[in-house]
Structure 1
Amino acid sequence: MPKCIKIKLLISLALITVLLGCKTGEEQGRKKMKVTYKTVTEVYDWGPGISKIILETGEDLKPDSLSTVDFKVESNRVFKDFNFSTFKPMDNPTDHIAERTVLDVYISDSMGNRAKKGSTITMELEVGPTLTEGSPFNYDMGSNFNVFVDTTYNISTLNPIKLKNGRTLEIAETNRDNDLGNINLIADEFINNLEFSHNDIALKYATFNPDNNKEKDGSTPLIIWLHGAGEGGNNTLITIMGNKVVNLATKEIQKLFGDNGAYILAPQTPTLWMDIDGSKTYNTSVPENMGTSYYTETLMELIKSYVESNPKIDKNRIYIGGCSNGGYMTINMLVNYPDYFAAAYPSATPYSSSWLTDEKVEILKDQPIWLVHAKTDGIVPVYQGKLGQDYSTYNLSVDEDGNNIALDNNSNNLYRRLKSAGAKNIYYSLYNNVKDKDSGYEYMGHWSWIYSLNNDPTMEIDGKEITLFSWLAGQSR
């Protein structure tokens, strides 16, 4: 081969090598970095939802350069599916991977609050009552409890993230090692998973203590919340997040109870309040039972112990309420300890008319009670109807005139019997259904406590419109 041709080939090879090794300025400045993240969980009317992801990049970001189209976010919720053939959970857990919709993205501080500059990115995610991919819970059909599920996030960049120094950043694939945990808004202000035992019967409880150093002994009321059947178990975060119990700790509700606010006590049973013997056997399934609970005495001892341990609690302003199973337990506690509580606020209460003897009516009629229920409640019915196959719908029956047919049981029976006995301080908010006030989404009719916990029930009392918690705060023994 002639020498000149060899030289040309060598030059060509050198040029190709240089060109292949060349990158644009943007490519040279691009990083593929391992980032860390944490999630933020908020509690909504329908339960908890993971509403934000907070990414820490370690690099100063270019202001106003982030867009929702730059990111892809997937949740991976790992739990055992339920086998309806065997009516048991599957042997092995399954990955449930779903893409989350990113609604907004911005530079933030470490808690997810907007900031003008920094190295932290917060993504706001779509949540909703039907978007299970955003829930930290799963309803375990085996135990009939809500439980936390093992959830991780896969976060990737679809477009490079611009940095303040002109370079760009791409996120390396995230995994469990990148997860720095979760922030539970408001729920983390409670003290959770405290334990109490009496006569070898154990309960857990969560508590909220109002942050007011000026309060005097005996000056601050106590609100007790008793959970429904799905919020039992061994983690009180389920108790205060499964329903919107955290709303009781918000400024809007706390201020109704005075400058000092109110203490909150949320006990949790390992089974359910309507348990007759500790084996998770419903008292309604035992014909001769008259509405007793295995946990009555232990719950009362817990309440007394808590009050004695917190001398700032006003013993004349102790309020008790709850939903469904907890609504039953509320009435049960009023029957057994009629001189202890200042008022009660039960919702969707399954207190059977067969349990409500004349003697119990006499005990209850002078105690302040505000009942809440919905006509479309097919789990604890107060109107005649037919429950749908999925248990979430309840189609009301009508008579020949087209009117709904009221039943004389549960809250209907309680209200009628107590009013007939001369009760003067009893109120009953009966809703047509349970709907989201903003979106109009219709929830399961059993969930009337959504109205209670949002302080929606309203009555005209002594010529004034009074809400449930305003009324409650005004009651005293």
Structure 2
Amino acid sequence: MATPISRRSILAAGAGAAAGLALPAAAQATGGHAGTRIRFTLNAVTLDGGEQVVAVTLKTGRLGRIDPASLTPASFSVHAKATSPIPIAPGDQIFSEYDLDRTVTAARLNRDGDIVLELAYAEGVTGGGTLGYIAGKGRNVQLDLVYTITQNAPVVVRGRPVTFAAFAQGRLSNPEVDAFSYHVSGTGMKYRLFSPGRHHGKRPLVVWLHGGGEGASLPDNYYDNETTLRANRGALGFATREAQQIFGGAYVVAPQSQSFWLEDGDRFAPQIRQIIRDVARRHDVDRDRISVVGCSNGGYMSLKMTVEYPDLFASSVPICGVVQSLDPGGPRQITDDELKAIDTPTWLVASRDDDTVPPEPNTVHAHDLIPGSRLSLYDHVIWNGHQFPGHWSWIYVARNDPRQNGETIWQWMARQRN
């Protein structure tokens, strides 16, 4: 049975975040470190359904040895407040702001002697997410996060019980996201770039094109270059150790639309092409091994790129992409003649229960017309026992799940050459 899908599911789903400024939660100071102000980091992970804060690291390593036996989940309390960075119009909704206590599941020391407070989190649970979706704008935005730490019991530092004076919030840390550098092209389009480690020779390039909710909202002067990596694992999947081994080291670039790709594919295509050209010129990119992958809006745009630049890409992976008209009876986004003319090796992915971009008139139709194309059509989107909305079939590509004839989709992409 199809999973009910809200308007939010037109997005490349999920969560993202901006660490707020230092907002201390005062605690009485006792013991040998009276007056010590402890900075803390928010530790985030991009799950299949979006980024969540999963732990808080208190920077206590410089104070000296802390007795781990003095730490329990009850030693500290953690409160989280998440609000929109831009005004919400009257009558509009944002999913999801929150103001709540986070459950501390464990308190431990890391190898640097810092206290780590592990927090309860799960797919689809409000309270840890770092993105909010503004319904009226159809956009994910990074929520302004304010975390408040309260110490409930002393910890033993160098043999003495200590209660810290105050806590100051620092940065949001997500190693996978932070591995992508920040850039702006000559046309003004922002993008993030993952570069492989030390290598000899030229390496392939994977271009990830985000969904509709991860573009900018320039009427609000909101263009973050963040949500493309925090809303789902689409680009991140290709930067994992598994993917890098399969590709033999690959660059991964994630452009961010100034609005959404479907708004004006003709205008955005050359801007994406310029980013590809710039990355290939500045880095050791194998121009015969450039792949384009996109979901939803980005699935449309990946098809559009192969139509506009038939000799550029070694492979294309449109995921739940839009082909039919957005308006009843209107012209197709990608015409039948254009689909028939695509000769870039193409592997399409969708789920039958997608009621945001129905697969039959879009993905299946494109597969029927694109010569030699492959199709992976799932019944539902389920990963690690959690069922996601049917539109979120990009999760399977991000996890290298589609396969045919014993070959996974990443392996197929890696062997394609122009």
State the TM-score, normalized to the length of structure 1.
Answer: 0.73
Name the aligned partner's letter for residue 252 of structure 2: I
Instruction: State the distance in 2 between where 1:89 and 1:28 align.
Output: 47
> Alignment identity in percent?
30
Q: Contact 1:321–1:345 at 8 Å: present in 2 too?
A: yes
Residues 361/151 of structure 1: CA separation in 2 closer, same or farther (3 Å cut) = closer
1:44 is aligned to 47
Q: Equivalent residue of 2:381, what SS?
A: coil
Deviation for aligned residue 1:81:
9.8
Instruction: State the distance in 2 between where 1:337 and 1:41 align.
Output: 37
Does residue 359 of structure 1 match 2:359? no
Match of 2:379 among 429, 432, 436: 432
Q: Equivalent residue of 1:132, what SS?
A: coil
The Cα offsets for residues 402-460 of structure 1, whole Å up to 9 and x where unpaired, read as xxxxx3x1001011223xxxx23x211111111122xx121111110011111111111
Name the aligned partner's letter for residue 354 of structure 2: D
Residues 305/28 of structure 1: CA separation in 2 closer, same or farther (3 Å cut) = closer
1:227 is aligned to 210
For 1:20-59, what aligned pairs fall within 5 Å after superposition?
33-57=36-60, 58-59=63-64
Instruction: State the distance in 1 between where 2:239 and 2:299 align.
Output: 20
Deviation for aligned residue 1:361:
3.2
What is the total number of aligned residue pairs between the two structures? 373
Give unpaired runs (5+ residues) of structure 1.
1-26, 111-117, 277-291, 383-406
For 1:254-269, what aligned pairs fall within 5 Å after superposition?
254-258=244-248, 261-269=249-257
Residues 162/320 of structure 1: CA separation in 2 closer, same or farther (3 Å cut) = same
Does residue 196 of structure 1 match 2:202? no
The Cα offsets for residues 11-46 of structure 1, whole Å up to 9 and x where unpaired, read as xxxxxxxxxxxxxxxx87795753221111111101
Deviation for aligned residue 1:247:
2.2
Residues 83/161 of structure 1: CA separation in 2 closer, same or farther (3 Å cut) = same
1:121 is aligned to 115
Deviation for aligned residue 1:140:
2.3
Does residue 68 of structure 1 match 2:73? yes
Residues 429/82 of structure 1: CA separation in 2 closer, same or farther (3 Å cut) = farther
For 1:101-140, what aligned pairs fall within 5 Å after superposition?
101-110=103-112, 118=113, 120-140=114-134
Deviation for aligned residue 1:187:
1.1
CA RMSD for the aligned pairs? 2.4
Q: Is 128-137 or 242-251 further displaced after alignment?
A: 128-137
2:171 is aligned to 181
1:87 is aligned to 91
Residues 28/45 of structure 1: CA separation in 2 closer, same or farther (3 Å cut) = closer
Instruction: State the distance in 2 between where 1:355 and 1:33 align.
Output: 60
Does residue 328 of structure 1 match 2:318? no
Name the aligned partner's letter for residue 39 of structure 1: L
Residues 36/317 of structure 1: CA separation in 2 closer, same or farther (3 Å cut) = same
1:449 is aligned to 394
Q: Equivalent residue of 1:274, what SS?
A: helix
Does residue 296 of structure 1 match 2:269? yes
Give unpaired runs (5+ residues) of structure 2.
1-29, 217-222, 326-331
State the TM-score, normalized to the length of structure 2.
Answer: 0.83
The Cα offsets for residues 91-116 of structure 1, whole Å up to 9 and x where unpaired, read as xxx98421111122111145xxxxxx
Q: Contact 1:221–1:315 at 8 Å: present in 2 too?
A: yes
**Structure with the larger RCO, 1 or 2 (CA within 8 Å, 6+ apart):** 2
Does residue 274 of structure 1 match 2:258? no
